[in-house]
Amino acid sequence: MKKLGLILLIFITATGFAQGDYKAEITKRLSEYGGFIKTKNIDTLFSYMYPKFFDVFPKQALADGMKKTFADTNLTMMFGDVVVTSVSDVYEEDKIKYAVVNYTNTIELTLSKSVGTQVVLESMKNTYENAYGAANVKADFDTRTFNIKATNAMFAINNPAYGNRWWLLEKKDELRPNVGAMIPAKAWEVK
């Protein structure tokens, strides 16, 4: 009986360490990903994203759109650190593992003086408040700057077909019609 208790204790401890390992690995991957967002390193950023995503959204078209946005002199975008707030337990289906990573980050948007009237700025503020919550949006119309604290979620996906690593994919309801086939319904329920 003592041996059974010892075996169970070792198993439970090992399981806890294994869970901690995947959570640490996912946290590290998302932190690195956030670093590439901060530095606007799109090519490396894309190397962390779930490869199946690019079957639906062509990589080059997305890269071109992001580069054009970042190069726009009428809009300056600065990104803060990604802070992981939680990593879910793993859900597995068809040998593919899914976890949900909840995180926060900050975004600072500044419009040049040549863009937008007061009405446009107020409309943008309302749009950001609806998306992120009024308490998470600070607008300074004099400097034409918006500071946003975003709370988001991502899927971390470990699919053996793409190697033994965790890939990232935004968990947004508006993406669900396009990525629904690559993410099982039960994985969408994971918090």
Domain 2-189's class? alpha beta
Which whole number is the average pLDDT over 166-189? 91
Q: In 3-state terms, what secondary structure has residue 39?
A: coil
- Render the burial of 157-176: b for 16+ CB within 10 Å, e for the rest: bbbeeeeeebbbbebeeeee
What does the pLDDT read at residue 116? 74
What pLDDT does 114 receive?
83
Q: Report residue 50 as tokens.
A: 């779930």
For residue 2, the model assigns a pLDDT of 41
Q: What is the pLDDT of residues 15-63, one digit of tens each?
A: 333 444 999 999 999 999 999 999 999 999 999 999 999 999 999 999 9
Q: Which residue has the higher pLDDT, 62 or 2?
A: 62
- As a whole number of angstroms, the distance between CA 171 and CA 182 comes to 12
Of 21-35, 76-90, 173-187, least confident by mean pLDDT is 173-187
- At 5, the pLDDT band (50, 70, 90 cuts) reads very low
What pLDDT is recorded for position 132? 94
Distance CA 116, CA 112 (A): 8
> How high does pLDDT run on average in the chain?
87
* Domains of the chain by residue range: 2-189
Region 145-173 average pLDDT = 95
